[in-house]
Amino acid sequence: MISESRCPVEDGELYVRSTGEGPLLLLIAGGLGSADTFRAMTKLLADDYTVVTYDRRGHFRSTDTSTGPVSVPKQADDAHAVLQHVGGAPARVFGTSAGAMIGLDLVARYPDAATVLVAHEPPAIQLLPDALGWLDEASAQVRLAQAGDLMGAFKRFTDGIAGAALPELRAIRLPNEEDWKRLFGRELAEILDYLPDLRALRRSRTEIVPVAGVGSRGHYHYQPAKVLALELGLPFTEVPGAHLAPQRNPAQFTEALRDLLEG
């Protein structure tokens, strides 16, 4: 049975969806932040967990009346609010891409929020020696979007992601155009400029599991998980698929995730 609800947060409301039975598992989406990202995974996990997903603020069915940049800590506050809303903390938490960054801030600032965090390919480029180059590329994407070339920004964005590049698009407009505008205009720079609080994460009681996909080797979103594991003195784990494996290879990816969640 699927339960849908609205979670009040500062400057908005979040659409929250829960299903399944068992220990609480919060899934935090990357990209455009849609709960629908995890539809296939949720079905596979619902026999063993109470799976909670949500649309990130301002995306799809969630609202946001604020203006200006949306910081990673603010989004982590939202994730914590969702956990309080469903009454289930501490929880198991899985975050992918930007969702992994949100998860890292969540466990750094809310030590009792999670028992385990699986952080899949967090784009923590501030941990890399060539961070400025990646920030320059993100700025170029933002400028394209602001100049009205949303498709150009989208193509540059997806070209850098393993397994995400698309064939030549004939469409004049992107699906979910307003959500892409929000990502480029208010979120992308904040996500890539965020430096995880390594000191707090080293002290955290949460079991942190940095992972990256085998198919992502050689791409910018693979290396930060390795560096994070090294900085925290933790094992680094490779999982099946590439950056979009939770959507494109859900069965194989979920099997690996289940093992990580249970240690």
pLDDT of residue 162: 81
**3-state secondary structure labels for all residues of the chain:** CEEEEEEEECCEEEEEEEEECCCEEEEECCCCCCHHHHHHHHHHHCCCCEEEEECCCCCCCCCCCCCCCCCHHHHHHHHHHHHHHHCCCCEEEEEECHHHHHHHHHHHHCCCCEEEEEEECCCCHHHCCCHHHHHHHHHHHHHHHHCCCHHHHHHHHHHCCCCCCCCCCCCCCCCCHHHHHHHHHHHHHHHHHCCCCHHHHHHCCCEEEEEEEHHHCCCCCCHHHHHHHHHHCCCCEEECCCCCHHHHCHHHHHHHHHHHHCC
pLDDT of residue 83: 98
pLDDT of residue 1: 85
pLDDT of residue 213: 97
pLDDT of residue 129: 95
Mean pLDDT by 10 residues, the chain (263 residues): 96 98 97 96 97 98 98 98 93 98 98 97 97 95 96 93 64 83 97 97 97 95 97 98 96 97 87
pLDDT of residue 165: 59
Amino acid at 262: E
What pTM was computed for the model?
0.96
Domains of the chain, earliest start first: 2-129+195-262 (3.40.50.1820), 132-187 (no CATH)
Q: How far apart are CA 55 and CA 29, in angstroms?
A: 8
pLDDT of residue 174: 83
Q: What are phi and psi of 51, to 5 degrees?
A: -95, 125
pLDDT of residue 167: 52
